[in-house]
């Protein structure tokens, strides 16, 4: 087996000789106002940030780029992203129904509070019987989920989940732990099993401040504050399955890059149709500077302008990223995929 580091730091970032796993943000639209989300201006009534343009990819986009031949080279498509909820895209259901019969597994990350149960039944039917999975992000119970997932309805989420799971499709419950909901983890886990969820994952966010606090302004103008949980998810998991591996030692530096996107052969596509290295780089100031320094025109990386396969084979993915990793020039890559990389911690219960 080829060494992971060799794959992720040598030559082309993406290879047509390995199955693709695409990470696609269908839309930057969302019905929720989660304060820690990058789409949210948490200091102004949790309104959307100016970067949100309410755009989305369409079924026509997928039919153009994900032809039957290209789908045969695509193992999985993850519908998630930085700003939007996939269910807010008008044609999500039709896109899933187009992809799954062609052998493409689909993963959808959502707050679960949009659409009616009959829509969810149809979605479950399209996702059942393969490796597709639904990630329902439910951060608490009746009295706590809406504290962070502002604008969502717990009862409606559970009703939708039941309609989906009844089809035999696979759903997982994902749970961000806060000080206000950590006491409900065991009960949420119990409910997930009773409802037929296939898995339950705890998430420790990195978005709390150094004091373990996140302050924001609620939609009604009042002050809000979130506190980090008292125990880390690693502590909870250690109680269940024994010791866990130690965290990376920051003193060792981030020099070696193990790029998750390169390792998984996983380009990122934004709701604008822009193809990027990953969700952390897309639309960032560093990405724009990197392109400008090497004469890469952002327009040439948009699937509305060029075939997707041609974009992935061209720069900056052909060699510029791997060259930059060798010299440590990209700070985002160092922070997220370096030896001491910093990402949300996840533990499956």
What's the count of helices (H) and strands (E) in the chain, helices before strands?
14, 13
Digit-coded pLDDT (tens) for 184-198: 999 999 999 999 999
Q: Please report, for residues 50, 70, 135, 297, the alpha-carbon distance to residue 208 in angstroms, rounded to integers and kept in the order given.
A: 23, 41, 23, 36
pLDDT tens digits for the chain (349 residues)? Answer: 233 333 344 589 999 999 999 999 999 999 999 999 999 999 999 999 999 999 999 999 999 999 999 999 999 999 997 899 999 999 999 999 999 999 999 999 999 999 999 999 999 999 999 999 999 999 999 999 999 999 999 999 999 999 999 999 999 999 999 999 999 999 999 999 999 999 999 999 999 999 999 999 999 999 999 999 996 544 444 333 333 333 333 333 335 789 999 999 999 999 999 999 999 999 999 999 999 999 999 999 999 999 999 999 999 999 999 999 988 889 999 998 986 555 667 788 8
Cα–Cα dist 181/205, whole Å: 13
Note the maximum CA span of the chain.
56
pLDDT on residue 3: 34
pLDDT on residue 338: 86
pLDDT on residue 348: 85
pLDDT on residue 342: 56
Element containing residue 346 per DSSP (H, E)? strand 345-348
φ/ψ of 105, rounded to 5, equals -75, 145
SS3 322: helix
Look up residue 121 and give its two tokens: 């039944």
pLDDT on residue 328: 81
pLDDT on residue 344: 62
pLDDT on residue 34: 98
pLDDT on residue 61: 98
DSSP labels, 97-119: HHHGGGT-EEEEEE---SS-HHH
Q: Which residues contact 12 (CB under 8 A, 6 or more apart)?
A: 313, 317, 318, 319, 322
pLDDT on residue 2: 33
Q: With contact defined as beta carbons under 8 Å apart, do 183 and 189 qualify?
A: no
Q: What is the dihedral of CA 32, 37, 43, 48, to 10 degrees?
A: -50
SS3 290: helix
Is the pTM higher than 0.85? The answer reads yes
Element containing residue 320 per DSSP (H, E)? helix 320-327
pLDDT on residue 231: 67
Sole residue written with tokens 């700070």: 331
Sole residue written with tokens 């939609």: 219
């Amino acid at each position: 087996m080829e060494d992971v580091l060799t794959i992720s730091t040598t030559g082309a970032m993406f290879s047509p000789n390995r199955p693709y796993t695409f990470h696609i943000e269908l839309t930057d639209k969302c019905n929720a106002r989660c304060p820690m989300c990058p789409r949210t201006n948490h200091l102004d009534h949790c309104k959307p940030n100016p970067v949100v343009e309410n755009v989305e990819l369409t079924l026509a986009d997928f039919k153009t780029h994900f032809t039957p031949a290209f789908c045969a080279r695509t193992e999985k498509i993850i519908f998630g992203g930085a700003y939007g909820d996939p269910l807010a895209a008008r044609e999500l259901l039709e896109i899933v129904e187009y992809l799954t019969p062609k052998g493409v597994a689909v993963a959808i990350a959502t707050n679960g509070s949009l659409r009616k149960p009959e829509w969810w039944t149809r979605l479950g039917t399209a996702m059942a019987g393969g490796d597709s999975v639904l990630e329902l992000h439910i951060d608490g119970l009746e009295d706590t989920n809406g504290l962070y997932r502002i604008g969502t309805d717990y009862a409606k989420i559970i009703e939708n989940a039941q309609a989906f799971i009844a089809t035999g499709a696979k759903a997982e419950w994902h749970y961000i732990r806060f000080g206000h909901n950590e006491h409900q983890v065991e009960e949420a886990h119990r409910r997930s099993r009773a409802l037929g969820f296939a898995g339950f994952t705890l998430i420790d966010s990195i978005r709390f401040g150094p004091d373990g606090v996140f302050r924001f302004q609620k939609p009604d103008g009042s002050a809000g504050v979130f506190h980090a949980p008292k125990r880390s998810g690693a502590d909870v998991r250690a109680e269940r399955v024994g010791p866990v591996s130690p965290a990376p030692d920051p003193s060792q530096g981030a020099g070696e890059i193990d790029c998750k996107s390169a390792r998984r052969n996983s380009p990122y596509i934004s709701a604008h149709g822009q193809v990027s290295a990953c969700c952390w780089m897309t639309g960032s100031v560093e990405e724009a500077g990197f392109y400008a320094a090497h004469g890469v025109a952002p327009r040439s990386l948009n699937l509305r302008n060029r075939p997707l396969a041609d974009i992935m084979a061209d720069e900056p993915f052909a060699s510029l990223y791997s060259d930059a990793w060798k010299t440590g020039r990209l700070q985002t890559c160092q922070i997220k995929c370096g030896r001491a990389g910093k990402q949300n911690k996840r533990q499956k219960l």
